[in-house]
């Protein structure tokens, strides 16, 4: 994925940003909650029918989502709970934007199609994250696929800015589930290589 290829460069730059926020007394968990609040504001703006402004602010809010990790790394405050908290709140941040989009689309002529596409795309986004989390829980990496969260955000933001949200929703409704399936197949292949594919010992 594109996001994986540029992650190293971005992390190096964000260390300086994280150090600046840390000097202001902002902790990683505080930054995580600020990011959620910013995405909530974006959702409200979109819901009230301002997609262009919402798209621009979505890019900013999503960029801010990287600040918590940058603060943690710059202050050596990386923790197991912090990673869990960040990942969990990130899911809420993404879903709240979909809710704002759903509210807006229900006030337009695209209400029925838009509602279905929003639900399918949001479900696919959650399944991508869930597949990665479950893979990591059993010791595998599963960052493969086409549309990780950065790609999803950029695509949605661009289509909001040009006032064509259904274009993004059509693409996301398909590619999120393709990516989730890709991760399932990826983990299956890794498990076969390790001899870990059996019919027993499954979690409920």
Would residue 200 count as lying in a domain? Answer: no
Report the first-to-last Cα separation within the chain, whole angstroms: 31
Would residue 143 count as lying in a domain? Answer: yes
d(CA 34, CA 51): 21
Looking at the 3D structure of the chain, how many domains does it have?
Answer: 1
Would residue 201 count as lying in a domain? Answer: no
Would residue 131 count as lying in a domain? Answer: yes
Would residue 62 count as lying in a domain? Answer: yes
Domain with residue 178: its CATH number is 1.20.120.1760
Would residue 36 count as lying in a domain? Answer: yes
Q: What is the dihedral of CA 20, 154, 90, 12, to 10 degrees?
A: -30
Domain enclosing residue 168, as ranges: 2-193
Task: Give me the pLDDT at residue 13, please.
Answer: 62
pLDDT tens track of the chain, all 204 residues? 444 555 555 566 666 777 787 888 888 888 889 999 999 999 999 999 999 999 999 998 988 877 887 888 888 877 888 888 888 999 999 999 999 999 999 988 777 898 999 999 999 999 999 999 999 988 998 888 888 888 899 999 999 999 999 999 999 999 999 999 999 999 999 999 887 665 445 555
d(CA 6, CA 67): 16
Task: Give me the pLDDT at residue 2, please.
Answer: 46
Would residue 204 count as lying in a domain? Answer: no
Would residue 202 count as lying in a domain? Answer: no
pTM (predicted TM-score):
0.85
Transcribe 40-76 into DSSP letters. Answer: HHHHHHHHTT-HHHHHHHHHHHHHHTTHHHHHHHHTT
Q: Exposed, middle or buried by CB within 10 Å (0-12, 13-18, 19+), for 6?
A: exposed
């Amino acid at each position: 994925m594109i996001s994986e290829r540029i992650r190293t460069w971005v992390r190096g730059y964000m260390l300086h940003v994280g150090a600046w926020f840390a000097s202001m007394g902002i902790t990683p968990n505080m930054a995580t909650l600020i990011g959620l609040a910013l995405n909530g504001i974006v959702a409200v703006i979109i819901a009230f029918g301002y997609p262009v402004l919402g798209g621009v602010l979505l890019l900013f809010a999503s960029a801010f989502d990287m600040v918590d990790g940058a603060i943690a790394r710059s202050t050596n405050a990386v923790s197991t709970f912090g990673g869990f908290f960040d990942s969990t709140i990130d899911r809420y941040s993404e879903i709240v934007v979909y809710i704002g989009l759903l509210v807006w689309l229900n006030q337009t002529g695209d209400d029925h199609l838009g509602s279905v596409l929003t639900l399918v795309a949001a479900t696919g986004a959650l399944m991508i994250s869930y597949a990665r989390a479950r893979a990591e829980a059993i010791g595998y990496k599963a960052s493969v696929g086409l549309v990780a969260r950065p790609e999803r955000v950029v695509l949605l933001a661009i289509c909001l800015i040009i006032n064509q949200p259904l274009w993004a929703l059509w693409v996301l409704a398909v590619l999120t589930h393709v990516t989730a399936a890709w991760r399932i197949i990826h983990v299956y292949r890794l498990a076969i290589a390790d001899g870990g594919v059996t019919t027993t010992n499954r979690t409920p």
